[in-house]
A and B are shown apart, each in its own frame.
Chain A
Amino acid sequence: MIAELGHFALILAFCLTLPQAVFGLAGAAYRKPHWMSVARGAVAGQFVFAALAFACLSYAFYVNDFSVLYVAQNSNSALPTFYRFAAVWGAHEGSLLLWLLVQAMWTIAVAAFSRNMPHTITSRVLGVLGVISAGFALFILTTSNPFERLWPPAPDGRDLNPLLQDPALALHPPMLYIGYVGMSVPFAFAVAAMLEGKLDSLWARWVRPWTTVAWLFLTLGIALGSWWAYYELGWGGWWFWDPVENASFMPWLIGTALIHSLAVTEKRGLFKSWTLLLSIAAFSLSLLGTFLVRSGIIESVHAFASDPSRGLFILVFLGLCIGIALGLYAWRAPLFRSQAGFAPISRESFLLLNNVLLVAATGLILIGTLYPMFLDALGLAKISVGPPYFTIAFLIPMLPLVLMLAPGMHASWKRASFGRTKRLLIVLLGIATVLGTAIPVAAYGWRSVLSTIGIVVALWIAFSSLIEPLGRLRKGHSLSASVLGMSVAHFGLALFILGATVVESYEREVDLSLAPGQSAEHAGFVFTMHALREVEGPNYRAIEAEIRITREGEQVAVVYPQKRVYRVQQNPMTEAGIDGRWNRDLFVAMGEPLGDGAWSLRLQYKPMVRFIWWGAFIMAVGGLIAACDRRYRQPVAREVVSPAAATDASTA
């Protein structure tokens, strides 16, 4: 009964996306206030019914209703309650329902916080979002209905994939989806601006907080996924250049470029058509990511049970979205010429370079991700592109980008003279060079020029991101949330670069065999296996090792890595034993029994690996601060402001 209610709610949600799309777009085109308010009403209704459908599916999981096929496939009566809720988005159908709910949340948020925008723009944005929601609702209803019944009901479920039974992964998909779907908001704003034929600084000011919030959730989602892969996949890597990781990283890179390009559009009224193009690209890449994951054309942990009709649906949807948006762009872009100019050394130039490099990085990742699929689809060859390509291809554009970051942050608009900041930046670079060379060499030894550059640049960015906030505080000047957010986000990036460089340069890994009572030395620590025992979990059995780690005779930590076998799916799972400190992780994972009580073990020493996730978290916090800037909430006159006046007002 509940499942049917959920299915019915889903159908109603779909039905409401249609008036939202039609009346939103047509109401704005024909200037009919009544039509536009119909669209707003439809948004509220769509949200209510999407939430109801989602609640019904969650309820079916909660009460273990195994007469629902999707529940029977992804849950089990022994599954802990918390994971029953996480199991709702544990596979394809439910995660699409989550997608739809998140889309409805973003839409209702846009409707609620758009009081300072002209009605026609709001209405067009809601209309475009309605088209996207309609596409996804139709996708769920026709190809991936989560409420399908199973007759006769299964006596028990097949259980949630053991890999997904983890707190970080319970949160990873919602965060990522909020980010992915959030990119539909700047997309909708871009389409609205092109339909309206007008794009001014005010427009950029409306889009900026939405883009930043979507970006910050994408950042959190990717970081959580990386953190999960690090400890749950068992092998201690934090980024694999897996096609699905790339699929989430490309919208992030373009989203980052968009945030910077929007800054120029808002402050200087420049880069207008470029901003539009990035808005289109960010959402298109989100859709492309969905296509890659759902169509099953790539083999990875994330590739859920695939179905050609699903892939085809998304591909057609993707083609329509990109095609229509780009067609509109080709038609309307000439309207968005920018008049103002800027000097070669100015904040505009730095931001332009930032955009060029971020887009170049995205392009190189896109080539590496799609090229093997093309060859395979054409039946030419089966190849894969190894991580070394991505590492090199990513570093080429990123090195100049991070080198420019410190001066770029302090360049002024139009023409940068730097003035006194110049000397300060040079001094900070000097300090960073000394510290960044001396400390790592003393602590870990010499590795390579590239690692040293990475560490020095990270320190330089970290120091120089503090100039502005500290300087203003000292002088008692006010510090706007925008500037503070930017500084915090760049500081987070610096921590990330530091962590990534140090761990990639100095990590040490060894595979060996240990039996109870034996010990081995690795990276200055002695790992002793004290005991092996069997452990019973709620829905798994495990063999657990007790590994004591000592350094120079003193005990540092005891870790308990496990090899679990989940009762239902019978798949073995490695649960690593990790001793985490701020400056290093010691990571022990169990391989397999080698006979005579010995086990193969992988021991790893990971210096500063936590800086990677902390850095990403701080970046997201920076985004949150920036999105809270007061000027985004200031009421703006509802009447249409002429572009010239708006540009004057914002540059004044």
Chain B
Amino acid sequence: MTPRRRRMLLVGLILLGVSGAVALALTAFQENILYYYTPSDVSAGKAPQDRLFRVGGMVMAGSFQRPPGSLEARFVLTDYEKDITVSYTGVLPDLFREGQGIIARGRLGEDGIFVAEEVLAKHDENYMPPHVADTLRKQGDPRVTTPIATSTADAASE
């Protein structure tokens, strides 16, 4: 083989490897996309029944229940339009509490209860999932008269 042909072969092999890798990665990508739904979407039946997705909203005040000594918690997630009941077994994040915005990842059960594998709470007490803030803003709710994102700074300057 001439050096030129060898180089072409090398380039060809690299291209082949790279395109194979890209194909594999794209498959992984397709399988690991998590769609995000609101409690309203879920009650409208837009969320899939058979795969993982994420749902975000505020934990409704007074809805948190946990049998004594058990690790299974139940609470209602709301976007102030529709609600969804979430069940989660395990240790909840530090900032989880009623009235706090959270995001849960899991599956929708047959009974309409969302079984979460993971619950995320933002490390900021003023955090609200963006779409909840949008809903509240449309309703003219005083909780969102200042932009959410800068509320920490504003609180200090008041």
Residues of A within 8 A of B (CB): 69, 72-73, 150, 154, 158, 161, 163, 234, 296, 299, 301, 305-307, 341, 343-344, 349, 352-353, 356, 360, 364, 367-368, 371, 381-389, 392-393, 396-397, 400, 511-513, 569-574, 589, 591-592, 594-596, 598, 600-602
Chain B residue nearest to A602 in the complex (CB): B91
Shortest beta-carbon distance from A448 to chain B in Å: 17
Q: Which of A296, A371, A384, A397: most chain B Cβ within 10 A? A: A384
Asked if B113 is at the interface (CB within 8 A of a chain A CB), the reply is no
A-B contact pairs, 22 of them (CB 8 A): A73-B153, A299-B122, A305-B152, A356-B14, A367-B25, A368-B29, A381-B35, A382-B36, A382-B131, A383-B33, A383-B34, A384-B54, A385-B29, A387-B32, A389-B31, A396-B21, A396-B25, A513-B69, A571-B125, A595-B69, A598-B69, A600-B71
Closest 3 CB pairs of A and B: A591-B91, A389-B32, A382-B36
What chain A residues lie within 8 Å of B66 (beta carbons)? 594
Residue of B with least CB distance to A356: B14
B94–A572 contact, CB under 8 A? yes
Give the residue of B24, B33, B153 whose beta carbon is less than 8 angstroms from that of A396.
B24
Q: Does B18 count as interface, using CB distance less than 8 angstroms?
A: yes
Query: Is the CB–CB distance between A73 and B35 below 8 Å?
Result: no
Asked whether, in the complex, the Cβ of A571 is within 8 Å of the Cβ of B95, the reply is yes
Whether the Cβ atoms of B122 and A393 lie closer than 8 Å is no
- For the complex, count residues of B whose C-beta is within 8 A of A: 45
B139 within 8 A of A: no
In the complex, A307 Cα to B152 Cα: how many Å?
12
With a CB–CB cut-off of 8 A, which chain A residues contact B61? none
A466 to chain B, nearest CB (A): 29
Closest CB in chain B relative to A350 CB, distance in Å: 11
User: Which residues of the other chain, B, contact A299 by a CB distance below 8 angstroms?
Assistant: 122, 127
> Smallest Cβ distance from A56 to chain B, in angstroms?
20
Given contacts A383-B33, A384-B34, contact A306 B156 (CB under 8 A): no
Known: A389-B28, A572-B94, A573-B94. A305 touches B34 (CB 8 A): no
From the candidates B21, B71, B92, name the one contacting A512 in the complex (CB within 8 A). Answer: B71
Give CA–CA (A440, B33) in the complex, Å: 34
Answer yes or no: B6 CB below 8 A from chain A CBs.
yes
Chain B: residues with CB nearer than 8 A to chain A?
3, 6-7, 9-10, 14, 17-18, 21-22, 24-25, 28-29, 31-36, 52, 54, 66, 68-71, 89-92, 94-95, 122-123, 125, 127, 131, 149-150, 152-153, 155-157
CB of B35 within 8 A of CB of A341, answer no
Contact partners of B90 in chain A: CB under 8 A: 511, 591, 600, 602
Knowing A392-B25, A572-B95, the reply to whether A595 touches B152 (Cβ < 8 A) is no
Residues in A with CB closer than 8 Å to B52 are: 386
Alpha-carbon separation in the docked complex, A383 to B153 (Å):
29
Given A163-B123, A392-B28, A396-B21, the answer on whether A150 and B69 have CB atoms closer than 8 Å is no
Chain B residue nearest to A510 (CB atoms) is: B90
A353 touches B14 (CB 8 A): yes
B95 and A511 form a contact (CB under 8 A): no
Residues on B with C-beta less than 8 A from A69 are: 156-157
Please give, as numbers and ranges, the residues of chain A lying within 8 Å of B157 by CB-CB distance.
69, 150
Residue of A nearest to B24 (CB): A396
Q: A384 with B36: in contact, given A393-B29, A589-B91 (CB under 8 Å)?
A: yes
Inter-chain contact A385/B91, CB cutoff 8 Å: no
Collect the chain A residues with CB atoms within 8 Å of residue B21's CB. 360, 396-397
Contact B25 A388 (CB under 8 A): no
* Further 18 A-B residue pairs, CB within 8 A, beyond A344-B6, A397-B21: A150-B157, A296-B149, A299-B122, A306-B150, A343-B3, A352-B14, A353-B14, A367-B25, A382-B131, A383-B34, A383-B36, A388-B31, A392-B28, A396-B25, A511-B71, A513-B70, A571-B123, A589-B91
Chief secondary structure at chain A's binding surface = mixed
Q: Which residues of B contact A592 (CB under 8 A)?
A: 91-92
CA distance A598 to B28 in the complex (A): 41
Q: Is the CB of B123 within 8 A of A161?
A: yes
A305 and B36 contacting across the interface, CB-CB below 8 Å: no
B91 A73 Cβ-Cβ under 8 A: no
User: Contacting B32 at CB < 8 Å: which of A382, A386, A600?
Assistant: A386
C-alpha spacing A150/B156, complex, angstroms: 9
In whole angstroms, how far apart are the Cα atoms of A572 and B125 in the complex? 11
Cβ-neighbour of A385 out of B34, B125, B131 (below 8 A): B34
Residues in chain A near residue B95, CB distance under 8 A: 571-572
Give A384 to B35 CA distance when docked, in angstroms: 6
Residues of A within 8 Å of B10, CB to CB, are 344, 349
From residue A106, how far is it (CB to closest CB) to chain B in Å?
30
Residues on the B chain within 8 Å of A341, using CB? 3, 7
Q: A356-B14, A594-B66 are in contact. Are A389 and B29 (CB under 8 A)?
A: yes
CB of B29 within 8 A of CB of A511, answer no
| Interchain CA distance A387-B131 in the complex, whole Å | 24
Q: Choose one: A301, A306, A344; the contact of B9 (CB below 8 Å).
A: A344
Most buried by B among A356, A389, A594: A389
Residue on B with the closest CB to A590?
B91
- Complex contact A400–B17 (CB within 8 A): yes
Complex CA–CA separation, A615 to B92 (angstroms): 32
Closest B residue to A400 by beta carbon equals B17
List the B side residues contacting A360 at CB < 8 Å.
18, 21-22
Q: Quote the shortest CB–CB distance from B16 to chain A (angstroms).
A: 12
* Nearest-neighbor residue (CB-CB) of A598 within chain B: B69
Within the assembled complex, what's the spacing in Å between the Cα atoms of A513 and B73? 13
Contact partners of A598 in chain B: CB under 8 A: 68-69
Q: Is there contact, CB below 8 Å, between B152 and A73?
A: yes
Establish whether residues B91 and A601, one from each chain, have CB atoms under 8 Å apart when the complex forms: yes
Chain A residues with CB below 8 A from B36, complex form: 381-384
For residue A349, which residue of chain B has the nearest CB? Answer: B10
Query: Shortest beta-carbon distance, A154 to chain B, in Å?
Result: 7
